[in-house]
Structure 1
Amino acid sequence: MIEAATPPEQSLHALYRDHRSWLESWLRQRMGNAWDAADLSQDTFLRVLTSSQQLVDLREPRAYLVTVGKRLLSNFYTRRKLEQAYLDALASLPEDSVPSPEQRWVLLETLQALDELLDGLPPLVRRAFLWSQLEGLGYREIAERLDVSERTVKRYMAQAYEHCLLVEL
């Protein structure tokens, strides 16, 4: 016996059926690439599937899909920019120091996770935290670079640590 689909499943199916090609076209116009647009379209519907939004009550489905799609598009370009910066850094290394493709993948994934973890921090807080953690700078050196007091740097660091702890929970 086949069970009937539940209303949320029917709603998702209808949303996908009615708006997938439109969303994909919208993304393709912004990206100029049909393959990436198709991937982001699928990612958008996966996000919708895992969200807590009640699809039954969705009044403006295209506006909702565009909002989710814009966020994913922003993440896509952020990741691409991060990957390009990494590849540029790799190009400047001596040939015997270049990591293997597997190591590159792990490093890129780690950079992406770090970027996502620090997302939402004000730029100065983020910069102070990264200088401290990645370059090993002390608070005095960070304060000089940012042209702020050491006390401000301490507040920035406390804010960054609190952000990281809350994200991890």
Structure 2
Amino acid sequence: MATEGMVRHELVHRLYVDHQGWLNGWLRRQLGCSQKAADLAQDTFVRVLSKDHGLEPIREPRAYLHTIAKGLLINHWRRKRIEQAYLDALALQPEAVMPSPESQALIVETLMQVDTMLTRLPYKVRRAFLLSQLHGLTYAAIAVELDVSERMVKKYMAQAMLHCLMLAEEAP
């Protein structure tokens, strides 16, 4: 008599055997790099393993794998964009100011965490925060820009700051 764990293991194994080649090929076409494609394909199956699908086979396995892989691909591209923006800004600095490779990696990781935090905020909260912190606008100017009251801008900023605080507390 098979246990639930064995049945689940067999379902995931069958999913991997049947669709790993297709997924790897699709990711290779998207990325243009077979090694990165293999990494993201592996990450996709790790995500599948981390979810509880019960004991029933997935009805549309390719669509399911495509959805997971597409999310991972978006995260990959977002990370590359943030990392490139940081490296471009760093290239403008004198060599004496250049952080070590370890510091650069930590900074990129922190930027990714901030980006993730910002994408979780509602649009107007995120916009108010960025207008204040990056562009230096006053709350009155932000209120005009967002077509809300200055009091609402204060609420948006409080919400954004709370999220920043939560992110800081999660950091190791």
> Shorter-normalised TM-score: what interval?
0.7 to 0.9
Closer, same or farther: CA 137–65 of 1 in aligned 2, 3 Å: same
Closer, same or farther: CA 108–11 of 1 in aligned 2, 3 Å: same
Corresponding residue of 1:125: 125
1:1-169 correspondence runs (5 A): 6-54=6-54, 56-130=56-130, 132=132, 139-140=139-140, 142-143=142-143, 149-161=149-161
Say what the alpha-carbon RMSD is for the aligned residues. 3.0
Question: Cα offset for 1:160?
Answer: 2.9
Closer, same or farther: CA 75–9 of 1 in aligned 2, 3 Å: same
Amino acid at match of 1:125: V
Closer, same or farther: CA 8–32 of 1 in aligned 2, 3 Å: same
Closer, same or farther: CA 55–98 of 1 in aligned 2, 3 Å: farther
Amino acid at match of 1:58: I
CA-to-partner distance for each residue in 1:34-92, whole Å, 9 max, x for gaps?
Answer: 11111110010011111233362310100000000000000000000000000011011
Secondary structure of 2:120's counterpart equals coil
Question: Cα offset for 1:165?
Answer: 7.6
Q: Distance in 1 between matches of 2:137 and 2:119?
A: 21
Where does structure 1 lack aligned partners over 5 or more consecutive residues? none
Q: Distance in 1 between matches of 2:55 and 2:132?
A: 44
Amino acid at match of 1:21: G
8 A contact 2:4–2:55 mirrored in 1: no
Q: Return the TM-score normalized by structure 2.
A: 0.80
Q: Distance in 1 between matches of 2:138 and 2:48?
A: 43
Secondary structure of 1:129's counterpart equals helix
Q: Distance in 2 between matches of 1:55 and 1:67?
A: 20
Amino acid at match of 1:112: M
8 A contact 2:117–2:164 mirrored in 1: yes
Q: Distance in 1 between matches of 2:101 and 2:10?
A: 43
Amino acid at match of 2:10: Q
8 A contact 2:8–2:55 mirrored in 1: yes
How many residue pairs were aligned? 167
Tell which deviates more after alignment, 118-127 or 81-90.
118-127
